[in-house]
Amino acid sequence: MNLKLAILYILLFVDLFSQINIHKNYTTEDGLVNSQVSAIMQDSKGYIWFGTYDGVSKWDGKNFESIQTHNGMLSSAILDIKETPDGKIYFANYQGGVVVYDNGMLDTINENNGLLNNASTSIALLRNGDILLCSFGNKITKLKDEKLSNWSEEVGFPSDKNYTVRDVYEERDGTLYFATQNGLVIFKNNSFKVLTKKDGLNSDLLFGITGNGKGTIYLSTYKGINKIENGVVNNLTKNTRFQDSFCNKIILTNAGIMYAATAHGIVSEKGGILKEFTEENGLAYNHCFSVFEDHNGYIYFGTNGRGFNVYNPKEEIISFNKNTGLPNESIWSILKPSDGTLYLGSVNGLIIKKDNQIKVLNKENGLSGNFVRVLRESKNGSILIGTTEGLSILKENKIKNYSLENNSDITQVYTILESRTGEIYLGMQTGVVILRDGKELKKESEQLTNSIREGLKAALIYSISESDSGALIFSSHSGLAIFKNGNFKFFTSKNGLVDNSANTTHVSSDGSIFVGTLKGVNIIRNGIVVDTIDVTKGLSNNSIADIEEDSKGRIYIATYHGLNVLTGYKNSLKITQIFKKDGLIGDDFTHEGTFLDEEGNLWLGTLNGISRYNPNVDLPITTPPRISITGLQLFNKEFSLTKLIKNPQLSHDQNFLNFIYTGINLSAPEKIKYAYRLIGVDKNWVGTSNNFAP
């Protein structure tokens, strides 16, 4: 074994990489009627409605149903959507008036029956039950008790046609705020006041408005965002990239966060702190039209041409790849010590992120090799770096290299363990190498390697763990070896392992030994294989890449297809699967490429970048979705559900029915399970994943 000393150098500086925190995007390829999303609304049944420039789509999380000019819309562009307490949905149909949707039936409000102008721009539902239908110019039609009237004239709304209303907000005290194309019109105590650029607005051209119900108002303008607080107009986006941005829809969430859709991305604000979302963060397109919060707190961003994104503000998963500034995407090992430095082992060197800077170490500037397979932190604070060409130890800006030369010239390090007594064990293709105080213990290394080779007929070591009692666990492609008190015990497929290919090991908090193989996970307790967890029990994939455990006893099993979170593995096993579609950067995780940091975040390495998963904010939605019967089929043909409700009688030969129903949970629509029971037919509830009951 050769030892080399190198002084640490800083090879590469790059900007701190940004993060991907928006993971889902839906376009016309998924069934959306049009990718220019101008308005978004969720109805009382849970459906999300997307107004576009070519009709409207209704979405249940899986499927889209659309209404266009050929099946009921009066014109293509939908600028606003609102639902009244009686369940009717109103669409501001620009150049077509207002279309009313009522349980599948469409009605029309236009100039022919009392609307002041067909160029509908906005709809406001007032606290007193009145509906204001705003149109181009200063035309505002009031709908009350199914009668239309000229509200503009009734209250003396500014008569200039430039006062086109684009959005309306009503304060708790009944004050009405109108975002118009000629300033902010305020209607209070039957009198009007207008705020313009002269009063501090960024622009007179306003497109959106919202408020917190306590006097604070947010305005989206042609030139950024204004915030009115305690009567003072502030320029929220001054000296930011959004200061001259065309801003469209704007909302304030239940958590008190403002989101605005702009031509340069999404901007949010809370407590004076701005945050931006752009294509670098996963936004489908920077030019955004609309923004909306659903019943579960998820945020929807409607873009101008690339559909809509769904964003979870809890950010339980964030990801990093080359697009965010990650120097290399193929990450095989991760380490984040208590000082907050992030170490990433890649195929092209060690990436170090610290103090908003990134360094890259490789063979050219002192590392033993470029391909970093494993990272560990030593008890003395050193960073142990296993590469395909040996071992490097990084401490206080200096590198010590151990070439680990042997007769086979194979020096690849697969795994590293520092034992309780301070020895460093290296798992290699040729066996085990033991270091103590920086020196190789050749005799002990050879004895240990020979014993493993004798018991398993091979000595390639993939993983090393240590139990609380000091037992050393070595995994190999030919089985498992446990070394305790000078004695070995071997496990193969002949005495309990589900497969000889033991990829990784983990000793749980209760002393159980988890063995990840290519055919599932074995659990060893008291020297006996007591259980196998595989796809038949809910695992996403049988090929195991790594296993971790947090302080709450949750077991994380990273596989070659998906992450699995296990609880209650002793008596009431529950497995939650997480995939790329849920926000992970990829589904195929690298061997022992995960790391659990002190904050409880699980870091996951893939060939496509890394993801950070925070299970502590990934809380289940316990409120069950509202179930609605949406249709009925008789002999697989549509049958009027309304007709059956009015007259619930069928003839004896009308005996093959399908009830169509839905329960909408947009956070995980593919994971919804149903149960149905027809009184008089089914004795028990029948479980199903389908949304129909025969």
Collect contacts of 92-97 with beta carbons under 8 A, ≥24 apart.
92/39, 92/51, 92/120, 92/121, 92/122, 92/123, 92/133, 92/134, 93/120, 94/119, 94/120, 94/121, 95/119, 96/120
- pLDDT tier, 656 (very low <50, low <70, confident <90, very high otherwise): confident
pLDDT of residue 10: 34
CATH number of 24-314: 2.130.10.10
DSSP3 helix / strand / coil % (the chain, rounded to 5): 10, 50, 45
Average pLDDT value for residue range 541-570: 96
Burial status of residue 27 (CB atoms within 10 A of its CB: 0-12, 13-18, 19 or more): middle
pLDDT of residue 7: 39
DSSP SS3 for 409 = coil
Handedness of CA 555, 560, 563, 564 (dihedral sign): negative
Q: What is the pLDDT of residues 376-403, one digit of tens each?
A: 999 999 999 999 999 999 998 899 998 7
Please say if the pLDDT value at position 668 is more than 70. Answer: no
Please say if the pLDDT value at position 259 is more than 80. Answer: yes
DSSP SS3 for 442 = helix
What pTM was computed for the model?
0.86
- pLDDT tier, 519 (very low <50, low <70, confident <90, very high otherwise): very high
Domain with CATH 2.130.10.10 in the chain: 24-314
Q: What is the pLDDT of residues 103-126, one digit of tens each?
A: 889 999 999 999 999 999 999 999
